[in-house]
Amino acid sequence: MNDTRRNFIRKSAAMAAAVTVPALSSCRSSGCKSEEKSDHTSLPVSEVKWPVTFGPDGPKICVGIGAGDTKSMRQYKQVGVDYVLMGGPKVPWTEQSLRETMDPFKAEGLTVINMMIGGNQNIIYGREGRDQELRNIQDSIVAAGKAGLPVVEYNFYAHRLMAGYYEILARGGSGITAFDYERAKNVPSDPAPLMTADALWENLTWFLKGVVPVAEKAGVRLALHPNDPPIPLSHGHAQIMATFNDWKRLIEIVNSPSNGMTYDCGVTRETGEDPVEVLRYLGSRDRINHMHYRNVTVDQPYTKYEEVFFDEGIVNMFEVMKEVFRLGYKFGLNPEHPRALDYDKEHPEGIKNQYPGGGGYAAQTYNVAYTKAMMQAVASL
């Protein structure tokens, strides 16, 4: 990050130096009024060709759209989105079921870049039936490769403490999502048997050793989303994807680009870590297979924070984007968790985010526009 900052400072200094003393003197004497001519020939001319585009090897803005939602397909295509993520069809996937899901998006000029797969509860708990679940997921990964789906995302929660989320009001009366672990302490516990960290790691290791070789052969990358909220326990269940050390351990279980993560700069800051440093660690090892782009403020790492508008949080979104480009990341970039705007509340059919304080199409459009502007700014440096 220091090298990147130094390069940025050098470029800024060079630009400042290119403004000649006579030009500055002219401004002092005349005020550089719009009707007067000034000599700008000494100003540097950008060699970047506009509009800035990113090509197949750049990050790809994507949003979540449900199968068959033609209206949303058109709406997001209109604001410059070309890629989609979504939940997959019934497991086990087949090439036919995937194509039936993906082809309508293709007809609207959209590419499905990531699907979330489920059907792994017996695997997570190490229960009877996990062998069949493993075969179903293996078959689904093979089908994904044949259908041209590059990334399969999954979770490994024994329990997720959704009860800790609530809405608070932000600028102009908009809504944002807050999380407070203390609010959820008295919520009834999950009835499933409690899972220890050791048991979950054992089950995850068994799973990865069974699916990663299949994914490698199929040309598919797996992306495990970190625990969000990143708390150490959820009603007694361990949360094994809640710290940077956990993420390091994950990618070492099976050493392969197909054994990767969903990097989330918001979750990273929620844990108190530096999002750029974590991004660099995982990305330099080619272990980021999907990415979430969002901002937060943090009162207490892990247990109390707020998901805010992209321009208001403590994540340096510009530095994160610069590192994304420096690493040559080329998979999905989801500007997620739109905030609750009045327009979306008046048009609830566009709200896909069910979190308290979550918004819909209008707020997601803001996220997309902010993200694309950041991408263009970095690509123009």
Query: What's the pLDDT tens digit per position in 283-295?
Result: 999 999 999 999 9
Q: What percent of the chain has pLDDT above 90?
A: 81
Note the pLDDT of residue 190.
77
Are the C-beta atoms of residues 259 and 287 closer than 8 Å to each other? yes
> Distance between CA atoms of 381 and 379, rounded to whole angstroms?
6
Note the pLDDT of residue 44.
62
> Distance between CA atoms of 267 and 302, rounded to whole angstroms?
9
Question: Does 1 have pLDDT greater than 50?
Answer: no
Query: Token pair 């809504």 is at which residue?
Result: 175
Mean pLDDT of 171-189: 90
Query: Token pair 């008046």 is at which residue?
Result: 346
5-60 tens-digit pLDDT: 445 444 444 444 443 333 333 333 334 433 344 454 555 666 888 999 999 999 99
Note the pLDDT of residue 355.
83
265-to-53, 247, 325, 357 alpha-carbon distances in Å: 23, 13, 15, 19
Q: Where are the alpha helices (DSSP H) in the chain?
A: 2-17, 21-30, 70-78, 95-107, 121-125, 130-147, 197-218, 244-253, 265-270, 275-284, 317-327, 342-346, 361-379
Average model confidence (pLDDT) for the chain? 89
In a 13 Å sphere around the CA of 225, the CA atoms on its Cβ side amount to: 20
User: Which of the two residues, 97 and 21, has the higher pLDDT score?
Assistant: 97
Give domain 54-379's CATH architecture.
Answer: Alpha-Beta Barrel (3.20)
Q: Are strands 237-238 and 259-264 parallel, antiparallel or unpaired?
A: unpaired
Q: What percent of the chain has pLDDT above 70?
A: 88
**In which residue ranges of the chain is CATH 3.20.20.150 found?**
54-379
Question: Does 233 have pLDDT greater than 50?
Answer: yes
Tokens for 342, please give them: 């009045």
- Confidence label for 354 from pLDDT (cuts 50, 70 and 90): confident
Mean pLDDT of 323-350: 95
Question: Does 374 have pLDDT greater than 80?
Answer: yes
Closest CA to 150 of 83, 247, 248: 83
